[in-house]
Amino acid sequence: MLSKEKIEKYKNTLEGMKESLEDEIAHLETPVDMGDFPGEDENTDESEQAFNQRSSASSLRDELDEVESALIKIQKGNYGKCESCGQEIEEEILDISPESKFCRECNKKNINKK
């Protein structure tokens, strides 16, 4: 069973992660300053760059989703349980990534499935 202190610690870590992810996403989604470069040729590079930024923003969003759902679980009091088998997630795993949804065994299984 996770102690209250431990959960509090993970919560702080998660909140910090959430803030920096939100910052990064906001930064990525800010339109790039195109500068004063008229001409057709610029367009290709710029849209490619915008595309890359969007795709990394969307992977950050996925991460943010996981962080947020972990925070919701803390609020509900069911944090630290594996979503697959219902066992408690090992603290070593939560120490490394507090947003983890699965215990070590299920993580292994998930990796093998891919």
| 84 binds Zn ion, rule: CB under 5 A | yes
* 34 lies in the binding site for Zn ion (CB under 5 A): no
Residues 6+ apart with CB under 8 A from 2: 10, 79, 80, 88, 91, 94
CA distance 56 to 76: 30
Asked if 106 touches Zn ion (CB under 5 A), the answer is: yes
- DSSP character at residue 36: S
In angstroms, give the least distance from the CB of 78 to Zn ion: 14
What's the closest the beta carbon of residue 94 comes to Zn ion, in angstroms? 13
Site for Zn ion in 86-105 (CB under 5 A): 103
How far is C-alpha 45 from the geometric centre of its chain's CA atoms? 28
Considering the complex, state which of residue 9 and residue 101 has its C-beta at the smaller distance from Zn ion: 101
Pick the closer one to Zn ion by CB: 32 or 85: 85
| Closest-CA residue to 81 (of 109, 62, 69) | 69
Q: How buried is residue 4: exposed, middle or buried, by Cβ count under 10 Å (0-12/13-18/19+)?
A: exposed
Q: Closest distance between Zn ion and the C-beta of residue 44, in Å?
A: 47
Q: Which of 82, 98, 99, 100 touches Zn ion by CB under 5 A? A: 82
Q: Pick the piece of the chain touching Zn ion (CB under 5 A) from 44-52, 57-65, 71-79, 84-92.
A: 84-92
